[in-house]
Structures are given as C-alpha cells and as structure tokens.
Structure 1
Amino acid sequence: MKTVIMAGGRGTRISSVASDIPKPMIKIGGKPVLEREIECLQRQGFTDIIITVSHLAEHIIRYFGDGAAFGVTISYFIEETPLGNAGSLFRLRDQLTEDFLLLNADAVFDVDFHRFVAYHKAKGGLATLFVHANSHPYDSGLLIADETGRVTQWLAKEDERPRWYSNCVNAGLHIINPVVLDMSGIDAGLISSQVDGSGRIFKVDLDRQILKPLCRTGRLFCYDSPEYVKDMGTPDRFKNVCEDYEKGRITSRNLLNRQKAVFLDRDGTINRYVGFLRNIDDFELLPGVAEAIRQINERGYLAVVATNQPVIARGEVTVDQLREIHNKMETLLGNEGAYLDAIYFCPHHPDKGFPNEVAELKRECGCRKPKPGMLLTAAKDLNIDLQQSWMVGDGKNDIEAGKAAGCRTALIGEEAFGQDVTVRSLQDFLQYLP
C-alpha cells in the first residue's frame, strides 16, 4: 500500500520554534518529525512513500533523498504553487491505483497501521478516518458515527454541535480509495492547470471538498483507537509532544504493545448513583471524577468503562437513549480535559417478567458483571495486559469481575469483597497508580 505524506505547509503557527526549516523537519528527541513518521511506517512494511512538498522543499529532499538510507522508497511531488491540502492528489491520480494511506507530515504518531488497514478492508468503505478521544473535544473537529462505525455527520470546529456528543475527534490519518477523487466533482483539468476560470490558483480542501461529502454515501467509516496521534503545529503543542516523547508516551500507546488500563464501573463510580438510571437528566458526575480520569489519562493508563445496563433488557431505556447518556458523560468529562478510551456495556438481564422487556436480551450471558466478559473483550480489542490493570467500582459485582479477569481491584466503599484496596473515591484511588 502506498503512503502519501503531505509536507507542503508553511508552518506559520510554529514559526517561533523554527522559521528557517519546514515544519516536518523540526526535531523531537533529536530527529525530525517526518523521520519519526517514516520510521513508524518502515517498521511495519509501508515502504512505498510519496511526499508532497512546497515551502522550503529542498530541506526535505536533501535530507531524505530517495529514502534508501531509511529503508524505504521515496518520490516527491513538488507544488510550484500551493494547491491546498488535497490538490496534489489529483496530480498524482495516475500513481494512486488502489487504497492508500494519507498522512500529515506535522503529526506525531506511533500506531499499528496493519490494524487500521484491516479495519478499513473489513468495512469495505471508500475512506476510513483515524479517530480518537482527546482532552479538548469542545474545540476539535468531531465525527458522529453509528454503531457500525459509519460516519453520519462531520462537524468542523466552527459548526454548531449537539448539546451532548461522543468524544470522537478526527486525528488526521486516512485510508482512501482513489475512486473518491473521481467522485468529488472537481475538474482534475483545473488542478493540472492550477488556475480556475477567473485566473485564481485552484486549491482543494481535503476535509470540506473530498471527505465530508462522503457522509451522504454511507461509505465513510471511522476507526477509533487510543493510540498516540497529536498535531505539533503550534509552540504549545510542540512543547507537549516533546514532554510526551521524554516520558515514553508516544511509543507506549502503539497497540502493538501491551496496554495497561483502569476499568471503571459507571453508576456510583463516575456518576451519582440513583438506582437504575433511566433519565438523562439524572446523570451527574461525582465531584472530582473528571480530574481523576484526567490523571488516569496522563499516567498512561487506558480509561475504559465497563457497566451493566439491564435497563436495556427490561425495556426501560433504548440503546439510542443509552448512547445519549454516554454522550453526556463524554461531553462533561471533555469539558474538564478528561476522556474515556472505550465504553463497554452489557444490555442483558436474566430475570423475566417486566412489562416492556426485550425478549432476546433476557438471558444469561458472559458479559454481565460479576462475569468478566466486558473486560476480556476490551483486553482483546485493545491489547490490554489484565495483570497490569485495575477494576474500580462500588460493588461486589465489580470486584468479582475484576478478579475473574485477573486485574487488581479497588472498591469505592467500606465493605469487604476480597478487593486489593478500599478507597473513598476515584480520586483517592489515584495513590495506587504510578
């Protein structure tokens, strides 16, 4: 699979860090950002690379050459005049004959690309976007997707968004079928001439003109992963990325590596316990929870919710209503700089006799705590080392599920259920994390 890396931007926002070299050549840990991208690709066998260059292009071409010294093959497309962040793809159309990776040269990442590609192929879509939760969804571009991962709505930073939304942020890594370019309605001849009918340079915006319209086709998907992807395009972001590199956070999050997680019960652990929560208005974060989850994020643990939701089987809450409750949870956490890497819920309930119960969900299952099914599924999905992970909850079922999965366990409360530690709150639990 070919990889196209877009490296033509001027980098005006980060000029105070380095103004005499292209943004992708700024060093993190002694190596240019672009070199770290190429190393990640090369380790996984993605060695056929096209780099689009423009501003100070000679620095990139001189450093990387034909790529042989880095174990890859590199060719270049030089934009004599700016074509936007997607115009060069039309000029490269003859070389793009099958699905290709499209990456930004100013992104710092370390991800399992084979997992990303496998997901794309399994979905059979025309494009797949790498998405993740971040600490500032309120000012990020958001994708709204259905339960299959199909994108139904694309919200730019400036767009009005729902009151409650999932923390599903476009990270800027893409897999694209070149047919998408042919579907765009953009006259490739104008791209070749670089001038429109009024004599202006013709520029193409990747998100607005190429990808966003795919929402209407049902063939745009999102791939949700907790792996490390961050833009380093401003001085503050560059500083944060350098700190993450020094602490080993970049490479450790690659799902090729075993992850450690804090599994969290929901009711009574994250939000105020009100019995069976049926009304979204009754959802209220407990004091200090957002800060505690933010600390879990920063200490390198995945934050994963595992919650029993028998109200689904009882017919008291629909799956869509539960999703909206969870959207509220993610929005409230995101407003305070915290995020969840995944949410798992069990919709089953073994007891029958409820007026509006859903018959197919009234059964014994392996995912309802105290059984460990949700934790085991998360471990498979996210390559989690359960022995290095914790289950935190406020009840016996949480502790038994954690122990059955092989996790360490923490009870919020005072009773004794064989837990490893007993704490007063989620914030109190942080003392046991390094």
Structure 2
Amino acid sequence: MKFAIIAAGEGSRLAAEGIDAPKPMVKVHGEHLIDRLIRVFMKNNAEEIVVICNDKTTIVSRHLLELEEDGLRGQPVPLQFKVRSTPSSMHSFFQLRELLAGSPFVLTTVDTIFREQEFGQYVKAFKEVLAEGGDGLMGVTNYIDDEKPLYVGTDEAMNVTGFYDANDAQCTYISGGIYGLAPSALETLDDCMKRGESRMRNFQRGLVRDGRKLKAFAFSKVLDIDHASDIEKAEAFLDEKA
C-alpha cells in the first residue's frame, strides 16, 4: 500500500503568528510534522511514500532529499517527492496522480494529527474494505475544531451517504482529511479536474456522485495545525490517554 502527503501549503496563518518554519517543518513534541507522518506510515508497512511540497522555499525539499538519501533515524524511506506550488489541495493531489496509480493508497495533509494506535486500526479496516470490494475508507471524527468543517453523512453501517458544507442533515461526523482510496478513485479525480473543481471536498462529493462505495472510520479526534495555538493543543491531545 502507498501513502501520500500533501505538504504544498504555505502556512501563511502560522507565519503571521510568528512561526518561522514552513508548515511541514513545524514540530510537535520535538518532531517535524512531515517526519511524524512518514514514521507512522512506515510503521504501517508503507511500500512507498509520495509527497508534494511547494517551491516557495528550499527548506522542505532539502529535508526530503536528506530523508531520501539518509533515511529517517537511520531507517531507509521508500520516498518519492515533487516540488511544485499549486492553487489548491486537489491540484496537489492531481500532481501526485501518476505516482499513486495502480495501487490502493492513504492520503492526508501534512498537518493532520491523530493517535498512532487509531491510525493502525484505520489501515487494517481499510484493507478489509478493499477485500470486500469497497472503494474507500474515509477518516471521520465527531470532534469539531475546524473553521469550515465538511460534514459526512453516514448510515447505521457507516456507509458514507454524502458530504455537506452545512449540517442540515444532522450528521454525527465531519471529515478528518484522511482518505484511503482504491486506484479507481483517480478516475473521479480526473473528472473533477476536467470540471474545473479545485477543493478536496468537491472531490469527495465526486466520489459519491460516481457511485463509489465508501465507508467511514471514526477517529476520536483529528486536529490540524493552522494556528500557533494548535501546536500546544496537538501536544496536549497526544499526551491524553486513549
């Protein structure tokens, strides 16, 4: 299984609040965000890890080159990466398309914080979904700490029924930004790009529109690092007992 990281954002809100490091290099508990994801992915038997970072600074690309050459803490990393600035996260996803084709993959953004144990359970559940002929397993949470959450409709069996900007349908969950997808999902991505759509939530709606069989997996919490205060919040969350 492949794993993918979108690390192409500029982290402008963090910079405005005095965080000098590019978002992928921000540290939580002394560990770079990008290193944390790579470490967790390798722990879950990643065959390949693909990353996109922007070209606004060389700090991240140099770090990735070092990981490619020297490994992470002495352990070789099956890494491929692209350096390119894009107008949206979905465009970043599209830039990774050719590296993800032909294999199931788990995709997330570089600032996604979750419990490692829960992620291991998620990967196991994703493999079960694939074995049953499903098209994807979406990481969701009932913890809302997002400025513009994407609500996820589910039935009693945790089948995904829709994605909504407003919670008119009284959904229990929001998207956690963790996407486990079969290779067929890339066809939906292609169609979304042809339509001129640019947001990951539109891609998710496209999956439903195309009749993809999606299940939801509930994480206790998923946090994003958008503000300086989120770093302390993430560390406190990771220190909590599960």
TM-score by length of 1: 0.48
Alignment of 1:7-406 (within 5 A): 7-65=7-65, 66=68, 68-70=70-72, 71=75, 72-79=77-84, 81-95=85-99, 96-109=101-114, 110=116, 111-112=119-120, 113-135=122-144, 140-156=149-165, 159=166, 161-162=168-169, 165-184=170-189, 186=191, 204-208=198-202, 210-245=203-238, 248-249=239-240, 252-253=241-242
For residues 137 and 83 of structure 1, the distance between their equivalents in structure 2, rounded to whole angstroms, comes to 21
Q: 1:175 to 1:56 in 2, by over 3 A?
A: same
Identical aligned residues as a percent = 19
Q: 1:36 to 1:160 in 2, by over 3 A?
A: closer
Q: 1:59 to 1:138 in 2, by over 3 A?
A: closer
For residues 90 and 5 of structure 1, the distance between their equivalents in structure 2, rounded to whole angstroms, comes to 12
Q: Which has the higher Rg, Structure 1 or Structure 2?
A: 1
SS of the equivalent of 1:9 reads coil
Conserved? CA contact 1:7–1:53, under 8 Å: yes
Conserved? CA contact 1:13–1:234, under 8 Å: yes
Q: 1:178 to 1:214 in 2, by over 3 A?
A: same
SS of the equivalent of 1:148 reads coil
RMSD over aligned Cα, in angstroms? 2.8
Conserved? CA contact 1:10–1:55, under 8 Å: no
Query: What is the number of equivalent residue pairs in this alignment?
Result: 232
For residues 18 and 55 of structure 2, the distance between their equivalents in structure 1, rounded to whole angstroms, comes to 13
Write the letter of the residue equivalent to 1:174: Y
Measured after TM superposition, the shift of residue 15 of structure 1 is 1.7
**Residue in 2 aligned with 1:271?**
none
Write the letter of the residue equivalent to 1:21: A
Greater share of residues in strand: 2
Write the letter of the residue equivalent to 1:161: D
For residues 129 and 70 of structure 2, the distance between their equivalents in structure 1, rounded to whole angstroms, comes to 29
Q: 1:37 to 1:228 in 2, by over 3 A?
A: farther
Measured after TM superposition, the shift of residue 42 of structure 1 is 1.4
For residues 64 and 235 of structure 1, the distance between their equivalents in structure 2, rounded to whole angstroms, comes to 24
Conserved? CA contact 1:106–1:231, under 8 Å: yes
Conserved? CA contact 1:67–1:74, under 8 Å: no
Measured after TM superposition, the shift of residue 139 of structure 1 is 5.8
SS of the equivalent of 2:198 reads coil
